[in-house]
Copies of this chain bind each other. A is one copy, B any other.
Amino acid sequence: MKNNIKALRKELGLRQEDMANTLGVTRQTINAIENEKYNPTLELAMKLARLLNTTIEELFILDL
């Protein structure tokens, strides 16, 4: 499961902490998802996609 959160995040000029605050999670959670430490829940992933003005399918790539 890869993703391009970091690229999209930087396009918007946001820090991990900014995203964490607006999504109501911690900075470490955002960091862990960006660096593919684990799979987020669907709801958090959808909020992430919405914040980054994109879709789940464009944000996350299920490698299989």
Contacts and interface: CB of A to CB of B under 8 A. Distances in A.
Contacts of A50: 62
Given A39-B42, A42-B45, A57-B57, 8 more contacts: A39-B41, A41-B41, A41-B42, A43-B62, A46-B56, A46-B60, A55-B55, A56-B57
A15 to B, nearest CB: 23
A55 B43 CA distance: 15
Interface string A21-46: 00000000000000000011111011
Contact of A40 (B42, B57, B62): B42
A63 B3 CA distance: 24
Nearest to A48: B42
